[in-house]
Amino acid sequence: MPSNLKKTAFFLIFFIFIVDQFTKYLALKFLWPDKVIKVLPFFNLVYVENTGTAFGMFKSLGSAFFIILAIITTLFLVYLLVKDSTNWLVYSLIISGAVGNITDRLIYGYVIDFIDLHIGGFHWPAFNVADSAISIGIVLFLYKSFKK
């Protein structure tokens, strides 16, 4: 991987990580334990402690399981990032999100979610900046995979 691309990738990872942790700090400070801020008719800010994985699934597996799985996955993605510079953006987004959520699990034992999108009474499961980065990275990966 070229040096300038490596710097860009690691800057992006660091930047998204900082934004993620700062927004979670704000959620903890201003939304905890049960405040809801209505931003738009379809968008609220809430405070949710997610002990599961995506969309709160698999809560029974415990935080240690998710920490170990996320660390192994992140290390593998860092390896891929170094070896495959053509997908640096995909890997950087997923790595930054994984590190953000690992940090939460290590500090709190759960992930702080605070973005609540909804239509009427249907609410998408709450999520955060790290989840958004992971999701965008996965969508880009799938797009690139099917584009070939």
pLDDT in tens, 20-53: 999 999 999 999 999 999 999 999 999 999 988 6
Question: What would the pLDDT profile of 60-107 be if each residue is shown by its tens digit?
Answer: 677 788 889 999 999 999 999 999 999 999 999 999 999 999 999 999
Do residues 42 and 118 lie in contact, with contact meaning Cβ atoms separated by under 8 Å?
A: yes
Do 114 and 31 touch, CB atoms closer than 8 A?
yes
Residue tagged active-site, from 20, 104, 113, 116:
113
CB 83 within 8 A of CB 3: no
The reply to whether 104 belongs to the active site is no
- Which residue out of 20, 104, 116, 131 is catalytically annotated? 131
Q: Could you confirm whether 131 is annotated as catalytic?
A: yes
29 within 8 A of 36, measured Cβ to Cβ = no
- Assess whether pLDDT exceeds 90 at residue 55: no
Across 136-140, average pLDDT: 98
